[in-house]
Chains A and B, each alone.
Chain A
């Protein structure tokens, strides 16, 4: 094997590792996270004020207790998303996913209206990193009746 090819390979290795290291450092230590967020929390949405009206936004937070209003006849759902401090009222149509309930994390996609209600076109339910067995005496079938229980 000629010396020049093995020298080229070493150069390629050093170059590749340098590029890889720089890219990783940029992403992990840079503040990309501040500019690129998957969702806003209610506090950020409210702080944006009128700027948020009309734009497509993802809003994430927890479904506040005693705020779920489900109208099965018109298939309309209203609830409040909270981050513990700020709150936003959300309205959407269609049956929510089975896991939807009070106190669970949700991410909703939609737009803020002038009336101050977040009109959601897509409701996503977040599962925590806890995987637990059902409480004693609950059957699996009951888990699927959440919509009826709302």
Chain B
């Protein structure tokens, strides 16, 4: 089985996540101001890190696709944008659930939250564009350009808490986080990284199955339109 290693890395990721959240929920201390609610840190921060990293993969894949014109790079654009979008959506939901009991609101238009919401829309547009274009070379070119342009926002999302006044907390570092909280945070981050890697690889395989046919025979006639029944 050629997909054995991706299944292995996915299972390893889930196990690491399970151990991380066990430590996070039962071993690590509650947060001094937020109490038990603060434990969502171990889910939220890894989702953010890995989500941004997945978009970075999409950006690199888009450059590769434009340089080579190959289906393999195009499939990686599709796979990584889709997994990145999933993590991005999960990130916003986790953030809202955390914000209500701590900040007092589910949502506010602060720079970090606003740019993260824009990120969902921008990469959502990339996927929508891919569904609209039938010619594989045109689809590759247009969706790769859209991915590169959408990626501009990713470093902005990351730096937003440094550049502007926000309600969202600034970067934390091991110096600002209790050592017993750093352990589950790191473990969960690698768990998320492995799971997402497995997802991207699996999604890449699925995309390849369709794109290989598209790229080899781009001039095949489109599927016939269903017969219309006259009434």
Contact = CB atoms under 8 A, between A and B. Distances in A.
Contact of A12 (B30, B141, B170): B141
Given A15-B145, A37-B165, A143 B156 contact: no
A133 B32 contact: yes
A122 interface: yes
Contacts of B101: 97-98
Main secondary structure of the interface of A (DSSP, over half): mixed
Nearest to A8: B141
Interface in A131-145: 131-135, 138, 140, 143-144
17 contacts: A5-B69, A13-B63, A13-B144, A16-B66, A16-B145, A16-B148, A20-B148, A23-B149, A28-B159, A33-B163, A38-B109, A38-B165, A127-B33, A127-B34, A130-B177, A133-B32, A144-B35
A10 B144 CA distance: 11
Contacts of B36: 140
Interface of B: 29-36, 38, 41, 62-63, 66-67, 69, 101-105, 108-111, 137, 140-141, 144-145, 148-149, 151-152, 155-156, 159, 163-167, 169-173, 176-178, 180-181
B67 A9 contact: yes
A85 to B, nearest CB: 17
Interface of A: 1, 5-6, 8-10, 12-13, 15-17, 19-20, 23-24, 27-28, 33, 36-39, 60, 96-100, 104, 107, 122-135, 138, 140, 143-144
A143 B29 CA distance: 13
Given A104-B33, A129-B172, 4 more contacts: A38-B167, A39-B165, A131-B38, A133-B178
B215 to A, nearest CB: 10
A4 to B, nearest CB: 11
**5 interchain residue pairs of minimum CB distance:** A97-B104, A133-B29, A13-B66, A16-B148, A143-B35
A11 to B, nearest CB: 9
A131 B63 CA distance: 39
Given A9-B141, A10-B67, A60 B165 contact: yes
* Most chain A CB neighbours (cut-off 10 Å) among B41, B104, B156: B104
A21 B149 CA distance: 9
Given A98-B101, A129-B176, A20 B155 contact: no
Given A60-B165, A124-B167, A132 B31 contact: yes
Given A33-B164, A126-B169, A133-B32, A38 B159 contact: no
Contact of B32 (A19, A60, A122, A134): A134
A24 B141 contact: no
A108 to B, nearest CB: 10
Nearest to A6: B69
